[in-house]
Structure 1
Amino acid sequence: MSLPVTPADVASARHVLTGAVLRTPTLPAPRLSAITGAHIFVKYENLQVTASFKERGALVKLASLSPEERARGVVAMSAGNHAQAVAYHAARLGIRATIVMPKHTPIVKVAATEAHGARVVLHGESVGDASEEADRIAKEEGQVWVHPYDDAHVIAGQGSIGFEMLEDAPDLDVLVIPVGGGGLISGIATAARHMRPDIEIVGVETTLYPSMWNALHQENRPCEGATLAEGIAVKNVGALTREIVSALVSDVVLIDEPTFERAVNLFLTQQKTLAEGAGAAGLAAVLADPDRYRGRNVGLVVSGGNIDPRIVASIMLRELEREERIVSFRFSMLDRPGELGIISSLLGSLGANILEVEHKRHFLDVHAKGARLDVTVETRDRAHADQVHKALIEDGMDVVRIDWNSTGA
């Protein structure tokens, strides 16, 4: 079978990357293994200078340019990781770089790209709009187009990850890899299948952007919506990547947003590493279908760690609420001195730490002589939360547990 990228191409790319891109570790993750039932090994691409695997493909592509092409400069389109990777390595090689990004790209990503010396052009509302502008600039200014995924040099560069993972963990049974445009999984599959023809390779997309799924299944599911995994929120996959994925990838699965959140949180709390939504896709797939991976040696790639700290904080709080380590109670009580003190003392005696209190008097569904008190507390776990609730009722409190997902309060 003749494919656009060969194992020999990936091997050549490795020579280009040696000494210029970090050979990141592939390490066992015992805590994640205990949670999932699989034997998890993690490849930490978030340790690269720009915190993403994108450096590999970007450097291999830039290194392939002729002196004349380097003199013309390069143009790339990206909302984040590819932009920083191209800008960083273009600066290292003395190549002028123009990066086109959507208008609403977070300022932190724009600033990081500019810090590497690239000219940033903000254009359009979407990655598609930015891509069209980048194509126009390439034609008008004669710059070389550096595609984020549908390029043989880029795919070969990403494929170096596959060789490294199986060198460090040769007994892996399955690789579970994020899929956006398909460059990462295409490269890894090319290398991994060469070393281990029997290895299973599973691609992971967010349910909101099933672009590769559509391509493989001849379906037309919508690709739209706000997703935590914006790094793989791609509406159209590449022609080269589709061909490689069709030939070498065992399956592509779709994962929902809450599972991505849980995966990001577990990487942070259990592995002490920062993974962006797309970077946690492999773990999300294992969490979503643990029976498929139980007892098997599973390789995951933390493909990137560029995530907004505010999003991380939100995810951690949401996970605490899902685990019922943060719960809210609604008390209906008489509006008289000392009532709040009684409730707070009782909660304290039960080991619940009060985080927030909201006192409501002026609602029509509250008795004229009464008040409603919403109290958010920290508990040890779900069992402790149930124990606190039961004890409050047994003490004569008029109290209900608030489910913010269903009340709309």
Structure 2
Amino acid sequence: MAQNPLPDHPMRYALANELHARPFPVLDPPCRAMYLAIKKLENAAERDRSEDRAHLIALLDRHGAPHPPPGADHYFGRLGRGTLKWEQHTEFVTYTLFAPEQQADAFAGELFNLFPRDWLSEAPGKVVTSCIVEVMSVAPEDREKTMARYFPSWFVPESLSVSAVADSSAVVAGDFQIDEHGHTRFAVLARPDTTPTRVGRVVQRVLEIETYKSMAMLTLPRARAVSATVARLDRELSDLATGMAEESEQATEVLHRLLAMTAEIEALSSATAFRFGAYEAYEAIVTQRIGALREERIADRQLMGEFMMRRFDPAMRTCRSAKGRLAELSGRAERAANLLRTRVDVANQAQNVEVLRKMDRRAALQLRLQETVEGLSVVAISYYAVNLAAGLLSPVGHALHLEKTDLVAILTLPVIAGVWFMVRRIRNRVASGHDEHG
């Protein structure tokens, strides 16, 4: 067949290989799976992932195992007498050990000895979940006898869920309790004719349900704290809204308080946005993985899906409620701020109009005062100018046989007219100069 002459997208092979990079484990019962999920307490999504790889390499070096390629986010290989599967996720990293069954005490956790204590203490994070899955090969006719023999000592009856899964090819049991060794226990009773690949898929889904359930539950304490804060802010917003309706307080002061509250709400929204978004994704994965098991009831026993509906779903509803209340409060605060801002703007405009009116009245008063002063100035200047001119022209008056009073009478009107014209000209010049610079 001729090779495709079209050039490949640079990411084509990488993306195609990504679909096959994390295969399900292949498990042949009887065997066990030991599982750890480790997460940093803060900013786990932004952690330095090279620390995760360095911690993995330190474990591999303890057992002389080969290293993963540089920058790898998953690994699958031999570790001691078991097989290790390591995966990096957005917020956490997981270690899963698979090994043949070699001890009678199913949940003693002896396989965890492959994780040295000092190595665990140096982990870049804290344990979110730790699981042991006991995988047994049990014929359908022996299931009830096996469950009656082992389950009372393995699990807490009050929270135990038991169901047939994957077309009744296996039975999955678990109580989601943390035992005295710090592990959550699960049991998988596979039919003898169930393929190792199918057994691996069932075990993988059980581990994913426990992991993503735990990751989703991390949001619950934050949701409760947010609910308490939202309740307080809701009361404060209601008080402010009442004050706005009654106009009992200065609008500007209320606006400042409202803007401070809005800033607090936005800060809370920003701080919880990732956590609230993450729990929704994790909850969806839990629901999908339970659906993929295709549970069937065994006698009157509780299904895993029913356990989640009774214990897990209420916690998720609390998270949804907190997220919704916070978003609703943010919208209310924003609408109240916009309304109050409009009121303040209208009040400011009214104040500006009143200020302009006062300025107009003051300008009119100043104009009248100026005109009065100008009139008085014309009279005063004219008085002195007439007397000065009469004094200067007295020789001419004697020559014309005019008395001083006659001379003053003759000079008064022209002098007043000249002074008035001069004052008007000066005022007009000053006014025009002010207009040019204004």
TM-score, length-scaled by structure 2: 0.23
- Normalising by structure 1, we get a TM-score of 0.25
Between Structure 1 and Structure 2, which shows a larger proportion of helix residues? 2
Q: Computing the radius of gyration over CA atoms, which structure comes out larger, 1 or 2?
A: 2
